[in-house]
Amino acid sequence: MVPFPLLMKNNSSSTSSQKGIETVLILDFGSQYAQLIARRVREAGAFSLLMAPETPIEELQKHNLAGIILSGGPSSISDEGAPKCDPRLFEMGVPVLGICYGMQLGCKMLGGSVEGAHAREYGRATLKVKDASGLLRGIPTDTSVWMSHGDQVDAVDNNFRVLATTSTCPMAAVAHETIPFYGVQFHPEVTHTPHGVDLLRNFLYEICGVKNTWQMSDFMEEQCKSIRSQVGDNRVLCGLSGGVDSSVVAALLHRAIGDQFVCVFVDNGLLRKNERDFVETTFRDHFDMDLRVVDARDDFLTDLVGVTDPQIKRTKIGHRFIDCFKKEADVIRVESEQAIKFLAQGTLYPDVIESGHGYSGAAANIKLHHNVGGLPEELGFDLIEPLRDLFKDEVRKLGEVLGLPEGLVWRHPFPGPGLAVRCIGEVTEDKLVVLRDCDEILLEEIVAANLYRSTDQVFAVILPVQSVGVMGDGRTYESVVAIRAVETQDFMTADWARIPFEVLGSISNRIINEVKGVNRVVYDISSKPPATIEWE
């Protein structure tokens, strides 16, 4: 996606506000598993969105509500200032499922009591199912579940019935008799609860009556309608990087509004080897799109002279992108005698959450290069972000539905600031040449070993240190290159990829022998968290 800096004016809206998409809202009380709940619901066939717990009923009702899930969280119900939800939520007639803290909150708001458990449960527990209908239909009588709680529901009135227990939790699952509220003390969303997905499917299909409407083809059509309605007769500028996200946005806009949109590709001098040729061949020649290429290499590299701070790098790159787009938009306006009103961008759901401009604004501000807060007013565009409610794997599915080539759909991500954030310290042309050559060798070896599809992001990083080496009969004092390879489903968390030693050996040997200026290669075995995927 195009790396505009974060600014606070918000011109975008969530795609889920369309009444055509059946939606399950997840009120997030701070659970470490909140995003996982959202993914599990989508995988089961219903669209889901995370919302702030204090969101008023009027906002919730703007969605085509199928159900509501109250997530877990680290707070105790008895804590002063513990998060709450709007009490009118239980008067809507919409099925509600409370998980862990969400169960305790719902039960307390409906007349029950919560206290510290006599025996805290962390880890696996055996669930004894007493009522195998509805929520627990098809769940074995004795099954393993994952617990993580200190408090638990202590008492409920006659309006509740107990569905399941554990040895230390007499009300591990409950249901209200007259209000469509269900609560479970365990976490059905994690893999440590083997039948948790079955429970969530029961909630969605048996209780909420979901019609399995979360199909990517339906989402595509809904988005096309939304884009046409928003754009009208106006033109749209699309920042194309050649990555999966911006490519899917371009294909979606092409389907929705045809020649009303124009793609702009900015060559910032921070691209992978032969990237510009790839983009031009793919989108101008193959897809017959209106593609404008802006050569701004000298401007970007001049901006970065002497800059070592990663956030200053991002800011300078973002401002230069804005300048390039504004100038190109003026050129297009003069040519067509029509102003461009909108800019389309490939913001994803993890971007929204990690940038601190998500459903609650409480997320840590991790990624400053994502434009998830709006656009600078002087740019004069309204923002279109048709992917902002999708996870990465869902974007790939949409790309397949749109007919993009497999090699493009499954391409590894590339950061908006380009190689600038993989060149630690000051960015120079010499370092970029080394980095491009290393990156090309790395990807060639990963593809040759048939590991490209089993890894999710693989790249090289040039470090601001030099090490002593020996080549031939002489000593060398040259650069160190780090290799990063991760496996992930949603890029919110990631684990380092277990690349076979012989493959790592081939990569290292080729880089050291073929790339002048490198005499040492190291492998990054950090997971996210605590590390991030990129080094800067």
- Residues 172 and 165: their CA atoms lie apart, in Å, by 5
Residue 139 vs residues 76, 166, 182, 190, 241: alpha-carbon distances, Å: 29, 15, 16, 16, 47
- Residues 26 and 16: their CA atoms lie apart, in Å, by 13
Structure tokens at 493: 């968390």
- Residues 520 and 206: their CA atoms lie apart, in Å, by 59
Q: Which of 22, 63, 100, 222 is catalytic?
A: 100
Measured at the CA of 399, the angle between CA 394 and CA 403, to 5 degrees, comes to 145
Q: Which residues of 48-61 are buried (b: 16+ CB within 10 A; e: fewer)?
A: bbbbbbebeeeebe
Q: 3-class SS at 49? A: strand
Beta strand residue intervals within 372-473, DSSP E: 382-384, 457-471
* 100 in active site: yes
Measured at the CA of 36, the angle between CA 207 and CA 219, to 5 degrees, comes to 70
DSSP assignment string, 167-194: SS-TTSEEEESSS-EEEESS-TTSTTST
Torsion-angle region of 258 (φ positive above 0: left; ψ -120 to 50: alpha; else: beta): left
Between strands 173-176 and 181-184, the pairing is antiparallel
Residue 392 vs residues 76, 243, 325, 408, 516: alpha-carbon distances, Å: 33, 12, 26, 14, 36
Between strands 47-51 and 22-27, the pairing is parallel
Q: Which of 176, 187, 195, 254 is catalytic?
A: 187
Structure tokens at 457: 């992001």
- Residues 322 and 470: their CA atoms lie apart, in Å, by 46
- Residues 118 and 193: their CA atoms lie apart, in Å, by 23
Q: 3-class SS at 350? A: helix
Structure tokens at 520: 């040492």
Q: Which of 189, 328, 440, 534 is catalytic?
A: 189
Closest-CA residue to 445 (of 507, 496, 502, 523): 507
* 394 in active site: no
Residue type, 166: T
Closest-CA residue to 27 (of 64, 62, 58, 67): 67
* 370 in active site: no
Q: 3-class SS at 121? A: strand
- Residues 433 and 272: their CA atoms lie apart, in Å, by 10
The residues annotated as belonging to the active site are 100, 187, 189
